[in-house]
């Protein structure tokens, strides 16, 4: 069972990485959060791996840190959530926001994630609420600047993960919301608008 890979990053996209380990290229499915943590192509990359075995396929799911991997594996224990949906969930919301939403029984936040309906959200909260004690959630420091709701915080986190300084990312999000207040209701719209503001 493969648990960790370290090697040269041959290629990466928001949902896939190919890592060359001693001449063997491993095709790894990743989340957007892990994609943003990866180095440039050609550099050395390290990924924690969950090996998913089915009768007709072996798939590798890679994570930049052990917390995201553990959260992925907890999601797999929920009836109706397979590995592809679990990785989609982790791409649609930061690990910290997901843990906070589950602990707080925040069904509204969970149902905004692609592929998660009301019943699945209820199952996730019911089954995982008391099983996330080992997953730390950093507290947001109020001195880091104003917050624009959970969508704004997620977009800020994504921009910082991509390497933009926090003040610049914060300003871009504020600019995007001023131009279009509705952008604050949708992660992808806000993220794209903030990226355009930075450029």
pLDDT digits (tens, 9 = 90+) for 161-189: 777 777 788 888 888 888 888 888 888 88
What are the Cα distances from residue 127, in Å, to 76, 97, 114, 121, 137?
Answer: 11, 17, 20, 10, 19
pLDDT in the model for residue 139? 43
pLDDT in the model for residue 163? 77
pLDDT digits (tens, 9 = 90+) for 28-62: 999 988 998 999 999 999 999 999 998 888 999 99
What residue segments make up the domains of the chain, in order of their start?
A: 4-63, 66-128, 142-198
Tell me what percent of the residues of the chain surpass a pLDDT of 90: 45
- CA 186/CA 180 separation, integer angstroms: 11
pLDDT in the model for residue 41? 95
Whether 138 has a pLDDT exceeding 70, the answer reads: no
Triad 143, 149, 153: Cα angle to 5°:
60
pLDDT-based confidence at residue 136 (cuts at 50, 70, 90): low
- CA 158/CA 9 separation, integer angstroms: 21
pLDDT in the model for residue 56? 87
Whether 148 has a pLDDT exceeding 90, the answer reads: no
pLDDT in the model for residue 141? 43
Of 90, 109, 91, nearest to 100 by C-alpha is: 109
CATH of 66-128, one of 1.10.150.20, 3.40.50.1470, 3.40.50.2000, 1.10.240.10: 1.10.150.20
Phi, then psi, of 89 in degrees rounded to 5: -60, -45
Q: Please name the residues in contact with 96: beta carbons below 8 A apart, sequence gap of 6 or more.
A: 137, 138, 157
Q: Which class would CATH give 4-63?
A: mainly beta
pLDDT digits (tens, 9 = 90+) for 2-33: 999 999 999 999 899 999 999 999 999 999 88
pLDDT digits (tens, 9 = 90+) for 67-118: 899 999 999 999 889 999 999 999 888 888 898 889 889 998 899 888 899 9
pLDDT in the model for residue 137? 56
Q: Can you give the pTM of this predicted structure?
A: 0.67
pLDDT in the model for residue 130? 84
């Amino acid at each position: 069972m493969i648990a960790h890979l370290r090697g040269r990053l041959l290629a990466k996209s928001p949902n896939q990485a190919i890592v060359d380990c001693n001449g063997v290229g491993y095709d790894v499915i990743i989340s957007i959060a892990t994609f943003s943590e990866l180095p440039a192509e050609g550099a050395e990359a390290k990924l924690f791996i969950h090996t998913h075995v089915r009768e007709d396929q072996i798939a590798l799911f890679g994570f930049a840190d052990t917390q995201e991997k553990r959260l992925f594996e907890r999601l797999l224990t929920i009836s109706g959530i397979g590995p592809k949906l679990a990785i989609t969930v982790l791409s649609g919301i930061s690990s910290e926001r997901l843990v906070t939403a589950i602990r707080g029984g925040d069904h509204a936040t969970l149902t905004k994630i692609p592929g998660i309906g009301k019943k699945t959200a209820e199952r996730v909260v019911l089954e995982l609420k008391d099983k996330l004690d080992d997953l730390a959630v950093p507290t947001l420091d109020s001195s880091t600047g104003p917050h624009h709701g959970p969508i704004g915080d997620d977009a800020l986190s994504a921009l910082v993960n991509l390497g933009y300084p926090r003040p610049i990312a914060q300003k871009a999000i504020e600019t995007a919301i001023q131009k279009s207040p509705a952008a604050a209701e949708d992660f992808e719209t806000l993220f794209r608008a903030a990226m355009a503001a930075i450029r």
